[in-house]
Amino acid sequence: MKILVISLLRLGDILLATSVLRSLRRANPKSEIHILINGQFQSVAQMIPFVDKVYAFDRDGIQRIIGATDRNLLEAYFRIEDLVEQMQSEKYDQVVNLTHNRLSGWLTALIGCGDTRGVVFGSNGKLTAGSGWFDYLNDFIEPGSGNVFHFVDVFHYGAGLQNSDRRIELYETQNGIEFARQTLSNSMLQKRILIQPCTSETKKTLNPQKWREIGTTIAQSEPGVSVYVLGSPSEKNIIDQICSSTPLLPVICDLEQAYSLLNNCNLLVTCDTSIKHLATATKIKILEISIGSSEYKKTGAYIQGAVILQGLVPCAPCNHRGPCTQSSHLCSEKISSEMVAMVCGAMMRQDEGALRMLAHEYQEDIALLRTHINFSGDWAAVPLGQEFSAKAINSWVDRVSFKLYLQKEHEKSIGEYGSEGIELKKLLENIFPDRSSQDWVTELKSLERDVIWFESRVESFLSKLKGLLGEFHDVSRLQQYMEELEIFCLEARRSKLFESYGRQLFLSLQDTNQNSGAFQTVKKLRERLSHAHQRARIELKLIHGLQTGFTEAL
Partner 1 sequence: MSAQQEELKQFLQGALADLNKLSDHIREMQDYSEKAELILCLRELVQEQIEVPKSENSSHSAYATR
Residue 303's closest CA among 332, 329, 271, 281? Answer: 281
Which of 174/476 has CB closer to partner 1?
Answer: 174
Is 3 an interacting residue with respect to partner 1 (CB under 8 A)? Answer: no
369 alpha-carbon distance from chain centroid: 15
Which of 237/463 has CB closer to partner 1?
Answer: 237
Which of 78/453 has CB closer to partner 1?
Answer: 78
Is 123 an interacting residue with respect to partner 1 (CB under 8 A)? Answer: yes
Identify the residue among 3, 9, 229, 525 touching partner 1 (CB under 8 A).
9
Least Å distance, CB 488 to partner 1, is 32
DSSP notation for 146-166: ---S-HHHHHHHHTT---S--
For residues 523 and 541, give the distance between their C-alpha atoms in angstroms, rounded to a whole number.
27
Q: Which residues from 30-59 bind partner 1, rule CB under 8 A?
A: 38, 40-41, 43, 59
Identify the residue among 49, 52, 53, 60 touching partner 1 (CB under 8 A).
60
Run of H or E residues at 74: helix 73-88
For residues 517 and 266, give the distance between their C-alpha atoms in angstroms, rounded to a whole number.
61
Least Å distance, CB 293 to partner 1, is 8
Pairing of strands 366-373, 267-270: unpaired
Give the full edge-to-edge strand order of the sheet including 191-196.
249-252, 225-231, 191-196, 267-270, 285-290, 307-311, 366-373, 379-383
x-or-dash string of contact with partner 1, 316-345, rule CB under 8 A:
----xxx-----------------------
Which of 41/50 has CB closer to partner 1?
Answer: 41
Q: Which residues on adjacent β-strands are paired with residue 3?
A: 33, 94
Which of 259/405 has CB closer to partner 1?
Answer: 259
Which of 125/433 has CB closer to partner 1?
Answer: 125
Run of H or E residues at 551: helix 518-552
| Amino acid at site 414 | I
For residues 218 and 391, give the distance between their C-alpha atoms in angstroms, rounded to a whole number.
36
Among left, alpha and beta (phi > 0; psi -120 to 50; other), residue 358 is: alpha
Q: Considering only the stretches 60-68, 441-449, 489-497, 519-527, report the one whose residues sit in contact with partner 1 under the rule CB under 8 A.
A: 60-68
Least Å distance, CB 275 to partner 1, is 8
Buried b (16+ CB within 10 A) or exposed e, 78-99: ebbeebbeebeebebebbbbbb
Hey, which bits of 353-403 come out as E strands? 366-373, 379-383
Q: Which residues from 175-214 bind partner 1, rule CB under 8 A?
A: 198, 200-201
Is 127 an interacting residue with respect to partner 1 (CB under 8 A)? Answer: no
Identify the residue among 109, 390, 393, 492 touching partner 1 (CB under 8 A).
109
Residue 390's closest CA among 447, 432, 438? Answer: 447
Least Å distance, CB 91 to partner 1, is 15
Q: Considering only the stretches 156-164, 315-323, 373-381, 394-402, report the one whose residues sit in contact with partner 1 under the rule CB under 8 A.
A: 315-323
468, 478 Cβ separation under 8 angstroms: yes
Q: Which residues from 64-93 bind partner 1, rule CB under 8 A?
A: 66-67, 69, 73, 76-77, 80-81, 84
Least Å distance, CB 280 to partner 1, is 15
For residues 380 and 303, give the distance between their C-alpha atoms in angstroms, rounded to a whole number.
10
**CB-side neighbour CA atoms (13 Å) of 383:** 17
Which of 37/267 has CB closer to partner 1?
Answer: 37
Identify the residue among 32, 61, 106, 544 touching partner 1 (CB under 8 A).
106
Which of 324/518 has CB closer to partner 1?
Answer: 324
Which of 76/343 has CB closer to partner 1?
Answer: 76
| Amino acid at site 249 | L
Size of the site for partner 1 (CB under 8 A): 48
x-or-dash string of contact with partner 1, 231-270, rule CB under 8 A:
xx-xx------------------xx--x------------
Q: Considering only the stretches 6-14, 242-250, 496-504, 524-532, report the one whose residues sit in contact with partner 1 under the rule CB under 8 A.
A: 6-14
CB atoms within 10 A of CB 174: 9
For residues 172 and 256, give the distance between their C-alpha atoms in angstroms, rounded to a whole number.
7
Is 275 an interacting residue with respect to partner 1 (CB under 8 A)? Answer: yes
Is 282 an interacting residue with respect to partner 1 (CB under 8 A)? Answer: no
For residues 198 and 206, give the distance between their C-alpha atoms in angstroms, rounded to a whole number.
8
Q: Residues interacting with partner 1, by CB under 8 A?
A: 8-12, 38, 40-41, 43, 59-60, 62-63, 66-67, 69, 73, 76-77, 80-81, 84, 101-103, 106-107, 109-110, 121, 123-125, 198, 200-201, 231-232, 234-235, 254-255, 258, 274-275, 320-322
